[in-house]
Amino acid sequence: MRKRESDQMIHFFRKLFRGILGAGGVPAAAPAPAPVAAPARAPEVPEPHAFDSVWERLTTGNGPAADLEPEAQAQVETLVPMVLEHFSRNRPDPASFPALAMQIMKLVQEPELDMNELIRTISPDPAISLHVLRAANSALFSLGAEIQDLRRAVMQLGTREVGDIAAGVASRSLFDLSLKAEFELFGQRWHTQFLDAMAVAFGASQFAFDQKVGRADHAFLAGMFHDIGKTLALRSLAALVLDGQVAGPLPDPVVDTVLERVHVEIGCDLLRLWGLPEYLTVICQHHHDPEVASGLEHLDIHILRLVEGLHRLVLDPTDACRLDETRQSLQAMGLVRRHVQRVWADMAVQTERVRVLFPA
């Protein structure tokens, strides 16, 4: 990794996390887990012509107008207040926000990084150690020889990559359904939400860094937490079904609509509860506004909306859910086709990248 890139990311994270992080001791070193087999291939950049249909939809397509069937809509109207009320009665403890990611970020942003301290902090956590080793041996980063030593893995990946992986792994519990019964109700939905958040976080941070607009640290955390309300809403919905207050199974369109309706309110409440920076709450509150004004004070929101919209179109070129928001933000930033195509191609890579780094 280039030193300039590392230094700039270090500078980004220094201001954000100063004053938020606790002291905390450094745990003793522990043996690192053995690496897993590398994925078969690295992410590929899509062919340029594949963007033609995406650009046509962005410039001429309309957002979704399809309504739910009356019975499903009535179900949504019943569930929305129930989910909000259940969440209000079962807010997570403020201490539930994972502190380990913050601790690692604090180490990464130091001008003179103590590699030994970073390794001592990572190695006792099997999940983070495993993901760092998996990434170093993956087709994304492997140089040929298998890496079994955590120190070599950190040196090969670089501090920025290790920090991103650590933040994702340590925050993953926020996207997890804690009970097997909850998981069986909604299958892989929680994992999909986590992958989407990480892809948008990586993509938004990369866009801000490459284009030298906004702040990469703000963009990364905005990507991770702008839709966090959906995860807590899903837990409330699962609890209501398991308690027998709601009859299941629930159709996917009903679940999707309920999560869309409540996630901003729940997400803003959570971000305040955890004491995270105010700009994250502002982004969460306004990222689905029909119109967001242009200007530097709104740039973080526009970056998020653009990246999230293109991520959805990478997953499904027919997805119209965020078309209007994406179009409005690319116009507010004055982006032309070649700029948008570059971001779309990067999001295709980021989407595959998170699947490699964070398998189910």
Kindly report, residue by residue over 261-299, the tens digit of the pLDDT. Answer: 999 999 999 999 888 889 999 999 999 998 999 888 899
Asked if residue 5 has pLDDT above 60, the reply is: no
191 is a domain residue: no
19 plus 158 within the same structural domain: yes
CATH number, residue 275: 1.10.3210
Q: Tens of pLDDT along 295-314?
A: 888 999 999 999 999 999 99
In the prediction, which pLDDT does 289 show? 94
Asked if residue 109 has pLDDT above 80, the reply is: no
Domain boundaries, position 11: 1-30+93-175
Query: Measured on CA atoms in the order 316, 322, 326, 327, is the torsion positive or negative?
Result: positive
In the prediction, which pLDDT does 121 show? 82
Residue 120 near residue 141 (C-beta atoms within 8 A): no
Q: How far is CA 127 from the centre of its chain?
A: 18
258 plus 168 within the same structural domain: no
In the prediction, which pLDDT does 43 show? 58
336 plus 302 within the same structural domain: yes
201 plus 314 within the same structural domain: yes
Residue 224 near residue 171 (C-beta atoms within 8 A): yes
Query: What tokens were used for 224?
Result: 């991770």
Tell me the pLDDT of the chain averaged across its residues.
Answer: 80
55 plus 149 within the same structural domain: no
Q: Which of 321, 220, 229, 325 is nearest to 277 (CA)?
A: 220
User: Quick one: average pLDDT of 307-323?
Assistant: 92
